[in-house]
Amino acid sequence: MNFDYKTRTSTKIKDSAIGRLLDKMSLESVFCTHSVFSHPWGVDMPQLDSCMMFHLVISGHAQLTTNTEKYDLLAGEFVLLPRGEGHKLSCGTSSFYTTLADLPIEIVSDRYEKLSFGGGGTQTVMLCGAIVFKHPLTLRLLDMLPTSILIKQDSKHYESLKSVVGLLELETTQPQGGSTGAISRLADLLVITCLREYIENQELSELSWLGALEDSRISKAIELVHEQPSRHWNLEELSAQVGMSRTSFTGEFKRLVGNSPMDYLTEWRMSLAYGDLQNTKSSILAIALDYGYQSESAFSRAFKRTIGTSPSLIRKQLAE
């Protein structure tokens, strides 16, 4: 039996539309705080925009309270706050909460901190973290999520999550060569694991615009856009590809996704371009041409209208 390595290595890994969406998520920064709290204790965490926060109880217990939820967290349990909502974290009996700015945090590195705080009683050890996102597609994905997601020990993906957090703690506390890249990828995996846990326990139709993926025709249109973002799509061609009239296609797409097919195409292109501006050295004109624009000025106008800032400013910020 001959092993055809060329065929094997050229075969692309197939993924779902949701998988491709999650694959485009990209973080800007991540840091973790190894926290040792002693009873009584209470912490008031502010709202952190464009930031996903998480807490893992390593030992002991904690209570987390948002405007709408209250969780009694036991050892091994994990809570994710996808949109960085302000919340209170405590021993459960404290009536006094210290603000984040007033905590005696010890900065060990750019990505790792230590905190020892409380009244000296029974200890609770936690790993707390924040992941900062600015990519527009990522922020849209996060907007569809609830303010908090609890993952208990009986959750389907708990063991995977526990392994990822353990590796993340190891890389932040004992940095080695390549730790920066490892931390970024582990944080990506942490977020994707949490989103997978949440999505798999919901009906697709309840997941806002991701419910569009349940409709075979609209899903096909989304996949065509994702697979060929540089193609000069127009409404007639997209609707024909999925076997619908222009009017029916536009109405159904907007009902399920929330914006028109052409607006979605632009948003997807700009999301990809945003990543290219950050992660490649390609010129702005080259990126514009890659996504179907014939001039840098036309691309820049579309980019600023969609993202809220110019591509040249993104590049300038990276150079600073």
> Would you list the domain boundaries of the chain?
17-202, 208-319
Alpha-carbon distance 33 to 252, whole Å? 46
> Is the bond leading into 40 cis (omega within 30 degrees of zero)?
yes
Provide the pLDDT for residue 70: 92
Q: Which phi and psi (to 5°) does residue 99 adopt?
A: -70, 155
Instruction: Decide: helix, strand or coil at residue 293.
Output: coil
Q: What percent of the chain has pLDDT over 70?
A: 79
Q: Residue 170: pLDDT band by 50, 70, 90 thresholds?
A: confident
How would you classify residue 22: left for phi > 0, otherwise alpha for psi between -120 and 50, otherwise beta?
A: alpha
Q: Is 36 left (phi over 0), alpha (psi -120 to 50) or beta?
A: beta
Choose the CATH number for 17-202 among 3.40.50.300, 2.30.30.240, 3.30.70.60, 2.60.120.280. Answer: 2.60.120.280
Burial class from Cβ neighbours inside 10 Å (0-12, 13-18, 19+) for residue 86 reads middle
Average pLDDT, the chain: 81
pLDDT for position 127:
86
Q: Which residues pair with 65 in a beta bridge?
A: 70, 88
Nearest in space to 31 (alpha carbons), one of 153, 214, 169: 169
Choose the weakest-confidence range: 104-113, 168-177, 230-239.
Answer: 168-177
pLDDT, tens digit, 9 for 90 and up, residues 50-109: 788 889 888 899 999 998 899 999 988 888 898 888 999 999 998 899 999 899 999 887
What is the DSSP code string of 122-173? SEEEEEEEEEEE--HHHHHHHHTS-S-EEE-TTSTTHHHHHHHHHHHHHHHH
Q: Is 229 helix (H, G, I), strand (E, B) or coil?
A: coil
Q: What is the CB neighbour count within 10 angstroms for residue 78? A: 24
Token pair belonging to 113: 């901190």
pLDDT of residue 151: 83
Query: How confident is the model at residue 212, as a pLDDT?
Result: 61
10 confidence band (pLDDT: 50, 70, 90): low
Question: Which amino acid type is present at position 85?
Answer: E
Name residue 37's beta-bridge partners.
Answer: 117, 124
Per-residue pLDDT reduced to its tens digit, 198-226: 777 765 445 555 556 567 788 788 888 88
CATH entry, 208-319, from 3.30.2090.10, 1.10.260.40, 1.10.10.60, 2.60.40.10: 1.10.10.60
Most confident of 19-23, 36-40, 78-82, 173-177: 36-40
Q: Which two tokens stand for residue 301?
A: 């106008």
